[in-house]
Amino acid sequence: MSDVSFVFPNDVHTPWSIMIVLYPYITGLVAGAFVVSALYHVFHQEVLKPVARLALVTALCFCAFATMPLLLHLHHPERALNIMITPSATSAMAGFGAIYNFYLLLLIVEVWLVFRPLIVERAGTETGTVGFVYRVLAMGDREISDRARRVDDRIIHLLAIIGIPAAVVLHGYVGFLFGAVKANPWWSTALMPVVFLASAIVSGIGVLVILYLVLCWKRGVKPDSNCVRAMSRYLWISLMVAVTLEMLELVHMAYEAGEEWHVIKELLTTRLAVSYGIVQVLIGSVVPFFLLAIAIHPRLNPRVMSFLSGLSGLLILVQVFAMRWNVVVGGLLFSKSFRGFVDFPLHVTGREGLIAAAVVVILPFVALAVVSRFLPLLGDDEELQSVTSDSGRVATSPRAERHLTTTARPFG
């Protein structure tokens, strides 16, 4: 700890760990990935069809582990159930519990409906453990009529519409929590929920670009250049909006020049000089901005475009994590006296150490790999979904059957 004489006795230790950095980071990936899925299912952006299912399943896998950082941070994680059993109408965390459960259920139902024709078809053809899994997922269905398929499509469209405001609330709420802390000038700004939401969309699109390119490379499939270019364009626009809002928030603080500005300015130029100035602004914002401006050029070589888009997506993921780090940790570093700073401890082992944090980040990708064993995540509807025969029973075209054997494999 430094500047001890300017730190209050009850402000020596930081109350939060790196898990509170991961919590908004993972929920941001959920919201951002769902936005890409909604662009296809709601706004009919056909160019995004190759990643529509991948986006939806990615959102579900990350949503399943979104609360794990919070549970690891709690000394008694079993008490989290009290939010559901005895909720408080004035508690933002209780509100999050309801929003999270609703959104998770929405994702589960939408994923099931999207893959239902394939699940029902394979429930009748697969045997052993895999067949048992498909039969459980089919919930007793043995056939899907044309009318049932049309009803499913309407429900999918409706769920995607409902999911858009739900995703906004899910991640905007995280920014609301920080913005509501009036005693912390680094957090208490009206733009905080909007900034968190904009950066969430950026991170979600960025991780989808990387996942799509990696999956295509691992399976020896050529990426759809139009799809990659479209995602890069959305990523570029979202990055500009997010960075503009972040800079606007900082400029507004500097223009007001309140009594707390001197400590925020010192925080940015000393303690957060590397993570903010170099990592978040230069490496994570400026460099991807120019790379994506080149990548979206219509005459660019597809391989070069894929490389620039993938590199930009990776740098943007680093940028968003740095943003979460600078907001959470930055707000914990300066003393409530506004005259001193404390150190933020980083432990390697333990429930809230770096190893545990790495495991939390990896788990959604492991879940995605497991899901890919049973459900094809890439391809067009005509190739990946079962088709309905004239008799009303589910059938699969030879082309679809050949393609399914190559696409319903894990990452490797």
Q: What is the DSSP string of 279-320?
A: IIIIIIIIHHHHHHHHHT-TTS-HHHHHHHHHHHHHHHHHHH
Per residue in 54-87, pLDDT (tens digit) is 999 999 999 999 989 988 888 888 888 887 788 7
Q: What is the mean pLDDT of residues 337-355?
A: 83
The secondary structure of 310-346 as a DSSP string is HHHHHHHHHHHHHHHHHHHHHHHHB-TTSS-B-----
Please report which confidence band the pLDDT of residue 190 belongs to, taking 50, 70 and 90 as the band edges: confident
Look at residue 261 and tell me whether its pLDDT is greater than 60: yes
CA–CA gap between residue 238 and residue 203 (Å, rounded): 9
- How far CA 142 is from CA of 119, 131, 139, 184, in Å, comes to 10, 13, 9, 58
Say if residue 183's pLDDT is above 50.
yes
Average pLDDT in the 138-146 region?
83
What type of residue is 372? S
Amino acid at 155: I
DSSP 275: I
Task: Report pLDDT for 241.
Answer: 95
Closest by alpha carbon to 184, among 371, 373, 36, 330?
330
Using DSSP's 3-state secondary structure scheme, residue 387 falls into strand
Find all residues with CB under 8 Å of 129, minimum gap 6, and list them.
Answer: none
Quote the CA–CA distance of 204 and 200 in Å, as a whole number: 6
> Exposed, middle or buried by CB within 10 Å (0-12, 13-18, 19+), for 308?
buried
| The two three-digit tokens of residue 93, written as one number | 């965390």
Task: Examine the pLDDT at 397 and tell me if it is beyond 80.
Answer: no
H/E segment holding residue 408: none
pLDDT of residue 381: 44
Considering the entire predicted model, what is its pTM? 0.85
370 with 40: CB under 8 angstroms?
no
Q: Is the pLDDT of residue 402 over 70?
A: no
Once rounded to an integer, what is the mean pLDDT over residues 135-139?
88
Domains of the chain in sequence order? 4-407 (1.20.1630.10)
Average pLDDT, the chain: 84
- Check residue 127 and give its pLDDT: 83
Q: CA dist 21 to 97, 284, 329, Å? A: 19, 17, 8
Q: Residue 12 has what pLDDT?
A: 64
Give the pLDDT of residue 4: 47
CB hemisphere CA count around 204 (13 angstroms): 39
pLDDT tens readout for residues 318-339: 999 999 999 999 888 877 777 7
CA distances from 346 to 296, 335, 352 (A): 39, 18, 9
Residue type, 29: L
Stretch 373-377: mean pLDDT, rounded? 86
Centre a 10 Å sphere on the Cβ of residue 220 and count the other Cβ atoms it contains.
Answer: 7
* Termini Cα distance of the chain: 46
- C-alpha 136/C-alpha 107 separation (Å) is 18
